[in-house]
Amino acid sequence: MADLIPHGTWRAAKGGGTLSADIVAQIREQLFAGQLRPGDYLGSEASLAQAFDVSRMAMRDALRALSATGVIEIRRGAGGGIRIAAAEVGRFADALAIQLTLLDVSRSDLIEAQIATEAMITRLAAEHATVPDIESLRGILHRATDTVEDGGAFARLLGEFHTALAHIAGNMALAVMLRGILQLLETSYGADTTPARARGVLAKYQVVVDAIATGDADAAALLMRTHLEDVRLYARSGAKESA
């Protein structure tokens, strides 16, 4: 495959910080501006080094940084080269969860972020849900009734419920944020769950699904927010609640 530098020639890298940092910044800028898309072929290490007027070592450092953050993928062998990577929802959610952990974000803060995210998700789900979508949500809750004695299994199924809501809502940004948040909350929710509490949560979510089924976005969002606000109050007071 012939080397291809999309959208013209790159600007020669300058060492204001480091050469590799300038290369990374240029590629990120084009990506954020929509000038580069997933799958775009950038060229080989050698051709990119020539285009940016840097050494192979500087280019290699830049490519390592871009690969580590998921911007590019490097293929070896025939048909190989450097391309803009395809999106990976799981990778982004994992990275978000890791950074939130490193920042030592509290459980209470995570729940507040979940409230803000999921209230809008539930509103959008009510606006977009189809009959099969409603059946899917009810099916998850029905399966969850068989796990009320097992806090971990129950929390995993409710995670599936929240993920399904986000899919129905159709907003990828909100879905990815919620997925990262739930990765951190799922374990504590499972440990906190008693059978009686699990049944109470299921009853609340059944009412949320009823509101979604009727297309009442205001009611659905309020019901979800009210439930998660209760979860937040329990977390702050030291009592335990399951979401």
Would the CA dihedral through 212, 239, 110, 185 be positive or negative? negative
Side chain identity at residue 231, one-letter code: V
Strands (E) across 22-168 are located at 41-43, 72-75, 81-84
Report yes or no on 6 lying in a domain: no
Q: Can you give the CATH number for the domain in which 108 is found?
A: 1.20.120.530
Give the residues of the chain that fall short of pLDDT 70.
1-9, 15-17, 190-192, 238-243
Q: 212 and 110, same structural domain? A: yes
Query: Hunting for tokens 């775009």 — which residue is that?
Result: 40
Mean pLDDT of all residues in the chain? 87
Q: 59 and 110, same structural domain? A: no
pLDDT of residue 92: 82
pLDDT of residue 241: 47
User: In this predicted model, what pLDDT tens digit does every residue of 178-194 receive, in sequence order?
Assistant: 999 998 887 777 666 78
Give the global pTM.
Answer: 0.75
pLDDT of residue 231: 83
Q: Alpha-carbon dihedral of residues 225, 230, 235, 240, nearest 10 degrees?
A: -130
Length of the chain: 243
Q: Is 8 left (phi over 0), alpha (psi -120 to 50) or beta?
A: left
Number of domains in the chain: 2
Q: 48 and 121, same structural domain? A: no
pLDDT of residue 222: 97
